[in-house]
Chains A and B, each alone.
Chain A
Amino acid sequence: MRRWLAVYAALAFAFLHLPLAILALFSFNRSRFTVWEGFSLRWYQAAWRDPQLAEAAGNSIAIALAATVIATLAGTACAYGLWKRGSRLLTAGLYLSLVTPEIVTGISLLALFQWTFRWLDWRLGMHTVILAHVAFSLAYVVIVVSARLRTISPTLEEAAMDLGATEWQAFVHATLPALAPGILAAALLVLTLSFDDYVITSMVAGVDSETLPMVIYALARRGSSPVINAVSAIMVVFFGSLILLSERLAARGAR
């Protein structure tokens, strides 16, 4: 049976990886058609020079960084609070936010923003996108950081306080050193989730806050531009490395 399983696994891995590999391969195709006509970097150059792509990429990066900082800080505090004093209700709420379909999250946040615009002089824009990204990624941070916290003994903070540290010092000196890799892993996770999000972003973005996924979506809808292949290849490589790094950090020191 072992042999059958191995053969099957090879096919399954091919199924999972070939589409992306082919996409990446054809990003180096000189022709814009799906016939191989030689190696070329022209699409990468086109992507580099495209102003719309550049602006979208810049927006995506800015949003991702802002959302990461906010969500990681808030999520870590939440995970820490749950670690010390659990709250079944809050935990249930977090899980509920995780399973809520993205489209529902998107439209409900849109409804919230439109409703508040009656009082605040705001519009849809970068800030609404950032808020939306924090909203959906917080639960992920809590999960990753909580998993890490479960490997840390709570007695360490008691020992620190016993030796003269205040609550905050106890956290910084006893828990944080072991927790840091988990926080970093969570931050990288938010970065990826935020950068990649399309559904929620498309609902709450304004005219000035077009993100890279939105551009890719528009291009994909319209037709097959090999520029997307190039951008896709870059994103795959970039995020693949980011996620590998995140997992390496999350696993590090979990003795």
Chain B
Amino acid sequence: MESILVLRNLVKDYAGHRVLNDVSLQIARGGFFSLVGPSGCGKTTTLRLIAGFEQPTAGEVLLNGCCVNHRRPYDRNVSTVFQSYALFPHLTVRGNVEFGLKRRRKPDVLARARKALELVRLSGKENRYPAELSGGERQRVALARSLVLEPDVLLLDEPLAALDPGLRKQMRLELKAMQREVGITFLLVTHDQDEALSMSDRMAVMNNGHIEQVGTPEETYLSPRTPFVANFLGSVNWMDGIGVRPENTRVSYEPRDGCSRRAMVTSCVFLGNCVHVVARLETGEEAVAEIARGNGTFRPGDTVHIWWNPADELSFS
């Protein structure tokens, strides 16, 4: 599959500080791609370089095979959904959605706008002003405003961050469905690993201005290439240099052959859908075993054995 967006050795310096250090990425046409990492890792900067609000210090941004480094934002066929949505407060919903069409002098403005609003399920609210809408509705206007222009890539900057937690889960499914329906390449930037894992076809984990790993969600979660990726995408029990995820960590009173360690239970936390047994090993390290409800009760102070399947050990090349 050809790549619609290629980042080649991107470097970005800000006031003497290197924010992006040799970032390269290839994003295939028509998929849902996520860029995930902690605050300050450079993911938003990468997005702004793609959109054209900043120029790279070195490296190239290629859209559809052409280098667009020096093209202004209005000359690039990418569109951004901003974290704050950036809706024009003095225009109605329809006015906002039609904005880009009018600037680019596209025909059938009314019809296209109507279709875009149907896609985001906001038909009937065309004449409202952004101030009269809820957060979720505003986000949908921002989506419609960008999608109506049929960009090569839709850039989303932490689109779910401003929503209530309940709405967030629902919007994840809606965004995914929307992407499949319109077929446009989505590039999502987020610090929430659950979002990235649940929505992406492929994802890249960033840290400190460089990319640690690119792959499908399964690949990056089950086979993290660096300890950072392992820690960022989920929890890890580090036991004497060996990493095992809590859901693969077992605990029992009886000793086991093979990969097993003695430990003392420090607490037993009921989380509703599962139980976390926290135990301290003889090395002083703490391990968390995730067990189903009703699989035994472990009391603080009990001596137990922590064991796991060696196939579940995380190893880094």
Contact = CB atoms under 8 A, between A and B. Distances in A.
State if A and B touch, Cβ cutoff 8 Å: yes
A165 B51 CA distance: 14
A177 B100 CA distance: 17
Interface in B53-86: 53, 72-74, 78-80, 82, 84, 86
A156 B86 contact: yes
B251 interface: no
Interface stretch (A51-59, A130-138, A166-174): A166-174
Contacts of B17: none
A163 B103 contact: yes
A117 B131 CA distance: 57
A100 interface: no
A164 B103 contact: yes
A158 to B, nearest CB: 6
Given A177-B90, A178-B90, A162 B80 contact: yes
Interface string B81-115: 01010101110000000011001100000000000
Residue from the set B51, B74, B100, B145 with the largest chain A CB neighbour count within 10 Å: B74
B90 A162 contact: no
Interface string B25-63: 000000000000000000000000001110000000000
Contacts of B84: 153, 155
Contacts of A164: 74, 100, 103-104, 149
Interface in A178-219: 178
Interface in A111-142: none
Nearest to B48: A158
A155 to B, nearest CB: 4
B132 to A, nearest CB: 13
B146 interface: yes
A104 B100 CA distance: 52
Nearest to A160: B99
Contacts of B82: 155, 158-159
B89 A162 contact: no
A68 B51 CA distance: 40
A163 B149 CA distance: 8
Contacts of B104: 164
A97 B53 CA distance: 35
Given A163-B79, A163-B149, A165-B74, A158 B103 contact: no
Contacts of A178: 89-90
A156 B88 CA distance: 7
A161 interface: yes
A158 B131 CA distance: 20
B145 A163 contact: yes
A192 B84 CA distance: 39
29 contacts: A153-B84, A153-B86, A155-B82, A155-B84, A155-B86, A158-B80, A158-B82, A158-B86, A159-B82, A159-B86, A160-B88, A160-B103, A161-B52, A161-B53, A161-B73, A161-B74, A162-B74, A162-B79, A163-B99, A163-B100, A163-B145, A163-B146, A163-B149, A164-B103, A164-B104, A164-B149, A165-B99, A165-B103, A177-B88
Interface of B: 51-53, 72-74, 78-80, 82, 84, 86, 88-90, 99-100, 103-104, 131, 145-146, 149
